[in-house]
Amino acid sequence: MTASDSTLTNWVSGETLFHEHWWLEVVTRGRCEEVVVRADGRVVGRLPFLTKKKMGLKTLVMPPFTHVMGPPVDPGAGKPQTQLQRRLSIIRELIDQLPPSALFKQVLCSPIGDGLAFLDRGFQLRPQYTFKIDCRCDPGAIWNGMHFKTRQHIRRAEEKFSVTTVNDPKEFTHFYHQNLAARGRTSLVPLELFPGIFSACRDRDRGEILVANWPTGKPAAMAFFVWGDETMYYLLSTRANDVGDNGSVSLLIWSAIKHANERRLIFDFDGVSTSGIARFFSGFGGQPEVRTIVERSSFTYHALRCAKRRLIGGEAEDTIPFT
């Protein structure tokens, strides 16, 4: 059934921005599906997914621009052991309802123990790291918690750039494509969806584009941040290859952290893909956290993916969590 089904509006604990029905509607253009578990007439678990064809095979994956997902579950009351067992039982029931596919893959934002239910159903589990900053404290404490070199980059960037917001999503996509073209690259994300996503976020006060401008008004970097009731996510950014710019993105992140502080949110750097990015993010003083990637694939899919890797070299696109 689709995520827009009006019978699925019951409250379920543990939902993030990426589980909200309006988000799933806009990032999939109405093609998101989900399985649900009900008890006593209410939803106690749900697992959204997007059906896509890859290499001619049916796959169930996360929608674009959606960096974490997994099942929100309401385990009810009781002792921790009782809640855990009930939670795992609900997740196993959700998994058992999934339609047949050559691949299922998601990054869980739920408690790490949820992976036990997926493991029980034959999924492979591996870690994904991110950094988080609790911005509900004094902003001075956040600033002092940063590495001195990160603070230095931000101070120097503040002398060069002014930070403003962008209200036209086409400015962001044009700048993004321009920067990729200058590097001889193409986008791994479907930017044609971005205007709709930005408009939906802006209408609900759930997102903003920040831009670091040179004194001439020329943009040096732009970044898109989204947030739910508890967490702000660093979703997407792009930077021009300008001489003399070694701090525009750091300045935008610091600006977003201050906005998260004003909103009493946790700031999530939203995933680490390389050791260099880990060093960069750690400079802001965040704490590393581990998410769980769950994946189950058929023999045919696995064989085709391995062949694709050998042909193109490196990782195939479907092995990268955030594409």
Q: Which of 125, 16, 14 is nearest to 66 (CA)?
A: 16
- Which residues in 176-200 are b (16+ Cβ under 10 Å) and which e? beebeeeeeeeeeeebebbeebbeb
Domain boundaries of the chain, sorted by first residue: 6-128+292-319, 136-264
What is the predicted pLDDT for the residue at 322?
A: 33
Is 70 exceeded by the pLDDT of residue 6? no
CB neighbour class for 279 (10 Å; exposed up to 12, middle 13-18, buried from 19): exposed
Compute the distance between CA of residue 21 and CA of residue 30 in angstroms, rounded to an integer: 10
Look at residue 143 and give its three-state secondary structure.
Answer: helix
What is the predicted pLDDT for the residue at 262?
A: 97
Say what percent of the chain tops pLDDT 70.
92
Is 90 exceeded by the pLDDT of residue 273? no
What is the predicted pLDDT for the residue at 138?
A: 93
Say what percent of the chain tops pLDDT 90.
80
User: Which residues fall within 8 angstroms of residue 56, CB to CB, at 6 or more apart?
Assistant: none
End-to-end alpha carbon distance in the chain: 24
CATH number for the region 6-128+292-319 comes to 3.40.630
Average pLDDT over residues 8-19: 64
136-264 CATH choice from 2.40.30.10, 3.40.630.30, 1.10.3720.10, 3.30.70.580: 3.40.630.30
pLDDT per residue over 171-206, tens digit each?
999 999 999 999 999 988 999 999 999 999 999 999
DSSP secondary structure letter of residue 320: S
Query: What is the C-alpha R_g of the chain?
Result: 21
Average pLDDT over residues 36-51: 95
What is the predicted pLDDT for the residue at 278?
A: 92
Both tokens assigned to 304: 């085709």
pLDDT band at 313 (very low <50, low <70, confident <90, very high): low
Compute the distance between CA of residue 182 and CA of residue 199 in angstroms, rounded to an integer: 27
Both tokens assigned to 34: 């989900």
What is the predicted pLDDT for the residue at 306?
A: 85
Instruction: Quote the Cα angle for 110-113-116, to 5°.
Output: 115
What is the predicted pLDDT for the residue at 318?
A: 42
Look at residue 312 and give its three-state secondary structure.
Answer: helix
Tell me which of 260 and 305 has the higher pLDDT: 260
Average pLDDT taken over every residue of the chain = 90
Compute the distance between CA of residue 17 and CA of residue 121 in angstroms, rounded to an integer: 27
Look at residue 220 and give its three-state secondary structure.
Answer: strand
Both tokens assigned to 144: 């002092």
Q: Tokens 């999503």 appear where?
A: 169
- Whether 6-128+292-319 shares its CATH topology with 136-264 is answered yes
Compute the distance between CA of residue 99 and CA of residue 69 in angstroms, rounded to an integer: 18
